Amino acid sequence: MRRRFEKLVMKAAEHHELTKEELLCILQPEDDEEKILLFKKADEVRQRYCGDDVHLRGIIEFSNICEKNCLYCGLRKDNHKLNRYRIPEEEILNAAKKAYFLGYRTIVLQSGEDSWYTVDRLCGIVRKIKQHLDVAVTLCIGERTYEEYRELRKVGADRYLLKHETANPLLYSRLHPGMLFYDRINRLKWLKELGYQVGAGNIVGLPGQSIEDLADDILFLKQMDVDMAGIGPFIPHGNTPLGKTSGGTLDLTLRVLACTRLLLPRVHLPATTAVGTLHPYGREKALQCGANVVMPNITPAKYRKDYEIYPNKICIDEEPEHCRGCIQRRIESIGRTVATDYGHSLKLNKRGA
């Protein structure tokens, strides 16, 4: 058995192709020795294709108002216990400016699905950031129309993050009332067509999710040829219908990350905040299992505790300056460096763009 596992990990590390059945094997090491080999090979592939630079993306969580009702998420519409906010435009722009001076070259604008933000309002914000600051802008604001995505791209948005959450269409529809997996895929295709660098990604350890589903998530990311994949553990939130279920583990999340790196050598893989919430050194561990990106929070401190997607989120009492120093120390503590460029898609050169 050991020989097969080893052979498949080596094959994945060299050719970045596996069948679903083979992927299922390397997702489930049988002992520590196999697991260490999986993590080591993922780290080597990361080194070979991405180098030692870790890209920082500063996230501004500019509105926690959401019209959707995803069963797992603390921002869901039916959670009436949450204090809702929208950060005034001026403060969003100041947060972006501060992030720029802290050395960030990517600003991620993230929110719930909040239609108060018309495309004109959003375009205004993106345009101003792009006019005044030399940064890449990533949007993470959920499902919008093709025309809205097009307008936002026109004013300079570079990237779009729309996680597919789970590649199992049935599980997807159970967890997302009124939403369809098909609509999600379509939007990912539109975003690509419009020239965005596109991120998808899934949650690990959702109730009712099987290991086959996770293999499908990785194969889906590969098939979509995404530029970025946000993969993090499920953390149950008490004020949601899934509050009493169990969450995803650090171990399983690291295995999914490692397999993703083996099969998608050029993808940007963040060590998520959720993984940092599960374990004090979760992000460092993820960076050593294939991840090459960290997304520190740059939301002004007074809003942070209310962006409660899941409980016990890290950094909620911190100001952006503090997180910037903290993350630099963490990255350097494992012998890695902080990138100083925009951190665009690693596939752009290959595509000749």
Residues of this chain that interact with ligand SF4 (CB under 6 A) are: 66, 68, 70, 73, 75-76, 112-113, 142
**Per CB under 6 A, does 74 bind ligand FES?**
no
Given candidates 29, 58, 199, 232, which one binds ligand 5AD under the rule CB under 6 A?
232
Q: Using CB under 6 A, count the residues that bind ligand FES.
A: 7
- The CA-atom distances, in angstroms, between 286 and each of 6, 152, 233, 337 are 21, 32, 12, 15
Return the one option of ligand SF4, ligand 5AD, ligand FES, none that residue 235 interacts with (CB less than 5 to 8 A, by type).
Answer: ligand 5AD
Among 326, 334, 342, 347, binds ligand FES (CB under 6 A): 326
Q: How many residues bind ligand 5AD (CB under 6 A)?
A: 12
For residue 66, what is the DSSP state?
-
Partner in contact with 154, chosen from ligand 5AD, ligand FES, ligand SF4, none, beta carbon below 5 to 8 Å by kind: none
Instruction: Decide: is 296 part of the binding site for ligand FES (CB under 6 A).
Output: yes
Q: Among 135, 235, 259, 315, which residue interacts with ligand 5AD (rule: CB under 6 A)? A: 235
Candidates 26-34, 219-227, 260-268, 322-330; binding stretch for ligand FES (CB under 6 A): 322-330
Q: How far apart are CA 206 and CA 213, in angstroms?
A: 10
The answer to whether 323 contacts ligand FES (rule: CB under 6 A) is yes
Q: Which stretch binds ligand 5AD (CB under 6 A): 130-138, 217-225, 231-239, 331-339?
A: 231-239
**Helices within the chain (DSSP H only):** 2-15, 20-27, 32-50, 89-101, 119-132, 146-154, 169-175, 181-193, 211-224, 250-263, 273-278, 282-287, 301-304, 320-333, 348-351
Select the binding partner of residue 278 from ligand 5AD, ligand SF4, ligand FES, none (C-beta < 5 to 8 A, by kind): none
- Contact letters (x/-) for ligand 5AD, 187-206, by CB under 6 A? ----------------x---
Beta bridge partners of 148: none
CA-to-CA distance for 322 and 312, rounded, in angstroms?
Answer: 18
What letter represents residue 77's amino acid?
Answer: K
Smallest gap from Cβ 323 to ligand FES, in A, equals 3
| d(C-alpha 342, C-alpha 173), whole Å | 36
Minimum distance from residue 273 beta carbon to ligand FES (Å): 8
**CA angle at residue 122 from 119 to 125, to 5 degrees?**
150
Give backbone dihedrals phi and psi of 137, rounded to 5 degrees, phi first.
Answer: -115, 130
Q: Is 160 helix (H, G, I), strand (E, B) or coil?
A: strand
Separation of alpha carbons 192 and 185, rounded Å: 11
First-residue to last-residue Cα distance in the chain: 44
Tell me the backbone φ, ψ of residue 293, rounded to 5 degrees.
Answer: -140, 145
Choose which of 91, 251, 318, 319 interacts with ligand FES (CB under 6 A): 318
Residues that bind ligand 5AD (CB under 6 A): 72-73, 163, 165, 203, 232, 234-235, 237, 274, 309-310
Catalog residues that contact ligand FES under the rule CB under 6 A: 296, 315, 318, 322-323, 326-327
